[in-house]
Amino acid sequence: MTALLDPVIAQIIPLLPLRDPAMTPQSARNALRALAAARADAGHGEDWRVSPLRAKTLAGLAPAVVCTAWFDPLRDEGRAYAEALAAANVMTEYHHGAGLIHGYFGLGDASETARLEAQRARADFKAMLERGV
């Protein structure tokens, strides 16, 4: 799967990891209808670059720090993505944001819990970069 390496991506940190719209729980599907309606190319969701869980393999992808929240319409997909990456031997750290809501990365000024969880994820990301993986 040469396309996975072109361009070379050193590392990723998907903060809102929507991986496969077809696997999204009903509550998230409802929230995503407006987004789907705005998409000109209705077939692009089948493309593994939009829905990586549809790839034949995730082996060779960049190391990832995957973050979801306790109350997050993308929680199940994010966890599935992190598990699939790990199963493909991709270095992966998963943060589940216990007690937090979707989008908590932007709530650090209002929530100490959000600030600390985002800080943990950023620290993992930095450590991966420093290790050169």
Chain segment 34-79, per-residue pLDDT in tens? 555 544 455 666 777 777 888 899 999 889 999 999 988 889 989 9
- pLDDT tens track for 72-113: 888 998 999 999 999 999 999 999 999 998 888 888 888 999
Assess contact for 20 and 51: CB atoms under 8 A. Answer: yes
Measure the CA–CA gap between 34 and 36, rounded to whole angstroms.
Answer: 5
In Å, how far are 9, 10, 14, 50, 91 from 132, measured between CA atoms?
A: 12, 8, 19, 26, 12
Q: What is the CATH number of domain 2-131?
A: 3.40.50.1820
- 125, 24, 33: which is closest to 77 by C-alpha? 24
Q: What is the pLDDT of residue 89?
A: 97
Q: How much is the pTM?
A: 0.68
